[in-house]
């Protein structure tokens, strides 16, 4: 019988007032329950919010450099438990062990980047018009923040939201994605072991809509940092904004890759396979549209299809697997829905497009990497985020048309172009409507010391990561002093 895990409120592991639990399962073997978690309600959420509000009084008064002390211990713990954490991620999300190790490594890099931030909580001093007046700005903590994290990078995204929030002197209520509750409990255990005081980080597991409603309505919550679907993120932004709260939402993408006639095609294909198919395309920065110029269209299509067909899908612990299963049944249904949509709307299904169930894959959410050609920019599979291993290849007659197609979506997170023409590369960088962009690189490439976030419906609020990481969690105070 799998273990039952509690919520973490005010420094104690406590059950939900509902008395109910829900399972988190292994998407590679759906009968395997990894643990049972609290099915929390509004009252549990209020309990966590009130504990966080009480702790804010003392935590916000701790000198900023001292608040950062826990981070050194946290990094050591992440390094010591690297393999155990990666294995938990593979077991719960389905991604291969190699990808899971990559997530842990990126998380450590991101935490290292944040170590100096508490001593860089700088303001400005500017000369006043009055020579008797000394004026400056300070950055102050705000109160309790809600952290709502997704399942695709449960350790990384959870920590790169929680840690800046508390470094800045705030306290948090953390609501992880339900299907990654186990790794999220482990994440909170690490913060506790690293010495984060009681009440500073509070964990509430359970249904997003129920917990989300209380987090959105409760005036003690000063802001919400969210990563997930645009549908939920935009709704949260509207609701929390209506009562004067803050929102930072990192949402979906429909990221284009343009392939120019002069591109190194093999490099382009390598990058697109990495960014579009690995992790089953379950990345907000994943390439889902390949826009190709006529001179190289046939070569690109043939090579992309061959590479998609060669991807080996299996349990994430099998060293021969390149892709594991999709994260859950919802993802499987979404994938099958969009495949059907693509066929119905007249795109040509070149490969994949189906659930894989033979040879030991019977009991998991395994699917085949999928390529559609003959896709037009208006088709649903060219417009909506699929978040699965599906690439839509769109033909464009010229660079100008390719740019138009690339920008003809509601999303604006990441993008890439493959070309050796410097002029075209700069034209692309200038004209593309995305928060992150690349030249001759995968659209998923990401380094935690640069700001990260999207334009259009891909992002709301200040950027995460880099030197902007704490911006969302502080307010400026302007001080004028006449001694």
Looking at the annotation, which residues are catalytic?
250
Rounded distance, CA 406 to CA 289, Å?
A: 8
Beta strands in 200-324 (DSSP E): 201-203, 221-227, 246-250, 255-259, 287-292
Rounded distance, CA 292 to CA 297, Å?
A: 6
- Count of residues that interact with ligand AKG, criterion CB under 6 A: 10
Among the listed residues 209, 319, 359, 483, the single contact to ligand NDP using CB under 6 A: 209
Q: Which is nearer to ligand AKG, 149 or 200 (CB)?
A: 149
Contact stretch for ligand AKG (CB under 6 A) within 39-47, 75-83, 151-159, 364-372: 151-159
Q: What is residue 11's DSSP assignment?
A: T
Rounded distance, CA 193 to CA 202, Å?
A: 14
How near is the Cβ of 221 to ligand NDP at its closest, in Å? 12
Interface of this chain with ligand AKG, residues 403 to 442, rule: CB under 6 A: none
Greatest CA span in the chain, whole angstroms? 81
Q: Which is nearer to ligand NDP, 208 or 462 (CB)?
A: 208
Torsion of CA 146, 151, 154, 159, to 10 degrees: -20
Q: Which is nearer to ligand AKG, 145 or 387 (CB)?
A: 387
Torsion of CA 344, 332, 150, 214, to 10 degrees: 90
Q: Does 152 bind ligand AKG (CB under 6 A)?
A: yes
Contact stretch for ligand NDP (CB under 6 A) within 2-10, 33-41, 163-171, 222-230: 222-230
Q: Which is nearer to ligand NDP, 37 or 372 (CB)?
A: 37
Hey, is 121 helix, strand or coil? coil
Rounded distance, CA 335 to CA 216, Å?
A: 30
Q: Which is nearer to ligand NDP, 85 or 149 (CB)?
A: 149
Q: Does 229 bind ligand NDP (CB under 6 A)?
A: yes
Q: Does 192 bind ligand NDP (CB under 6 A)?
A: no
Q: Does 106 bind ligand AKG (CB under 6 A)?
A: yes
How near is the Cβ of 106 to ligand AKG at its closest, in Å? 5
The tokens describing 184, both together, are 């999220």
Angle subtended by helix axes 69-80 and 97-114, to nearest 10:
160
Contact footprint for ligand AKG (CB under 6 A): 106, 152-153, 156-157, 283-285, 444, 446
Contact footprint for ligand NDP (CB under 6 A): 148-152, 175-178, 207-209, 212, 227-229, 232, 236, 250-252, 284, 330, 334, 385, 387
């Amino acid at each position: 019988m799998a273990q039952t895990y509690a919520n973490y409120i005010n420094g104690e592991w406590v059950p939900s007032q509902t008395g109910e639990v829900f399972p988190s399962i292994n998407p590679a073997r759906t009968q395997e329950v990894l643990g049972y978690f609290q099915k929390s309600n509004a009252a549990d959420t209020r309990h966590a919010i009130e504990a966080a509000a009480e702790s804010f009084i003392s935590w916000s008064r701790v000198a900023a450099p001292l608040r950062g002390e826990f981070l050194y211990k946290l990094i050591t713990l992440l390094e010591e438990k690297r393999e155990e954490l990666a294995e938990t991620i593979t077991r719960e999300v389905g991604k291969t062990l190699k990808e899971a190790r990559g997530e842990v490594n990126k998380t450590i890099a991101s935490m290292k980047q944040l170590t100096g931030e508490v001593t860089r909580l700088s303001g400005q001093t500017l000369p006043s018009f009055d020579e008797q007046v000394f004026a400056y700005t300070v950055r102050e903590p705000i109160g309790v923040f809600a952290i709502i994290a997704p399942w695709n990078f449960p350790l990384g995204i959870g920590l790169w939201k929680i840690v800046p929030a508390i470094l800045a002197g705030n306290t948090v209520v953390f609501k992880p994605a339900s299907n990654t509750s186990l790794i999220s409990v482990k994440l909170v255990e690490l913060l506790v072991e690293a010495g984060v005081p009681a009440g500073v980080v509070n964990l509430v597991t359970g249904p997003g809509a129920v917990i989300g409603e209380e987090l959105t309505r409760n005036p003690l919550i000063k802001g919400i940092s969210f990563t997930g679907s645009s549908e939920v993120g935009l709704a949260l932004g509207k609701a929390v904004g209506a009562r004067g709260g803050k929102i930072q939402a990192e949402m979906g993408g429909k990221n284009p890759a343009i392939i120019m006639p002069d591109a190194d095609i093999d490099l382009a294909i390598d990058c697109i396979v990495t960014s579009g198919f690995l992790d089953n395309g379950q990345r907000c920065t994943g390439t889902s549209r390949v826009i190709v110029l006529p001179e190289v269209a046939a070569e690109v299509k043939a090579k992309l299809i061959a590479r998609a067909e060669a991807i080996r899908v299996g349990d994430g612990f099998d060293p021969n697997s390149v892709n594991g299963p999709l994260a859950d049944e919802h993802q499987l249904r979404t994938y099958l829905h969009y495949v059907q949509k693509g066929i119905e709307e007249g795109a040509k299904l070149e490969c994949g497009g189906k659930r894989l169930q033979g040879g030991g894959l019977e009991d998991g959410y395994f699917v085949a990497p999928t390529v559609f050609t003959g896709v037009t920019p208006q088709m649903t599979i060219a417009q909506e985020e699929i978040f699965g291993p599906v690439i839509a290849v769109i033909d464009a007659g010229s660079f100008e048309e390719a740019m138009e197609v690339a920008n003809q979506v509601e999303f604006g997170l990441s993008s890439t172009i493959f070309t050796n023409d410097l002029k075209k590369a700069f034209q692309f960088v200038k004209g593309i409507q995305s928060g992150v962009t690349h030249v001759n690189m995968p659209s998923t490439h990401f380094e935690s010391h640069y700001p990260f976030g999207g334009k259009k419906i891909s992002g709301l609020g200040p950027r995460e990561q880099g030197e902007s990481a704490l911006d969302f969690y502080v307010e400026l105070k302007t001080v004028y002093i006449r001694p």
